[in-house]
Amino acid sequence: MGRKRLITDSYPVVKRREGSAGHSKGELAPDLGEEPLPLSVDEEELELLRQFDLAWQYGPCTGITRLQRWHRAEQMGLKPPPEVHQVLQSHPGDPRFQCSLWHFYPL
Partner 1 sequence: MVERSVIGGMPLWAGQGARIGGRWRPAGGGAVACGEVSRVLLPWTSWRWGGLALLVSTRGGGLSGISRGKSEQGLCCTPKTAPGDHLLLGLDTSSRAMFSEQAAQRAHTLLSPPSASNATFARVPVVTYTNSSQPFRLGERSFSRQYAHIYATRLIQMRPFLVSRAQQRWGSGVLVKKLCELQPGEKCCVVGTLFKAMPLQPSILREVSEEHNLLPQPPRSKYIHPDDELILEDELQRIKLEGTIDVSKLVTGTVLAVLGSAGDDGKFLVEDHCFAGLAPQKPACPLDTDRFVLLVSGLGLGGGGGESLLGTQLLVDVVTGQLGDEGEQCSAAHVSRVILAGNLLSHNTQSRDSINKAKYLTKKTQAASVEAVKMLDEILLQLSASVPVDVMPGEFDPTNYTLPQQPLHPCMFPLATAYSTLQLVTNPYQATIDGVRFLGTSGQNVSDIFRYSSMEDHLEILEWTLQVRHISPTAPDTLGCYPFYKTDPFIFPECPHVYFCGNTPSFGSKIIQGPEDQTVLLVAVPDFSTTQTACLVNLRSLACQPISFSGFGAEDEDLGGLGLGP
Choose the stretch contacting partner 1; rule: CB under 8 A; options: 4-12, 13-21, 70-78, 92-100. 70-78
Q: Are 9 and 25 in contact (CB under 8 A)?
A: no
- Please pick, from the candidates 68, 86, 89, 90, the single residue that binds partner 1 as defined by CB under 8 A: 68
- Please pick, from the candidates 7, 14, 37, 107, the single residue that binds partner 1 as defined by CB under 8 A: 107
- Please pick, from the candidates 30, 60, 82, 95, the single residue that binds partner 1 as defined by CB under 8 A: 60
Is residue 59 near partner 1 by the rule CB under 8 A?
yes
Is residue 54 near partner 1 by the rule CB under 8 A?
no
Shortest Å distance, C-beta 69 to partner 1? 8
Q: Which long-range contacts (CB under 8 A, 24 or more apart) does 83-90 make?
A: 83/48, 84/48, 84/49, 84/52, 87/45, 87/48, 87/49, 88/49
Shortest Å distance, C-beta 96 to partner 1? 19
CA distance 63 to 69: 10
Q: Are 21 and 41 in contact (CB under 8 A)?
A: no
CA distance 83 to 98: 14
Binding site for partner 1 (CB under 8 A): 56-57, 59-60, 62-64, 68, 71-72, 75-76, 78, 106-107
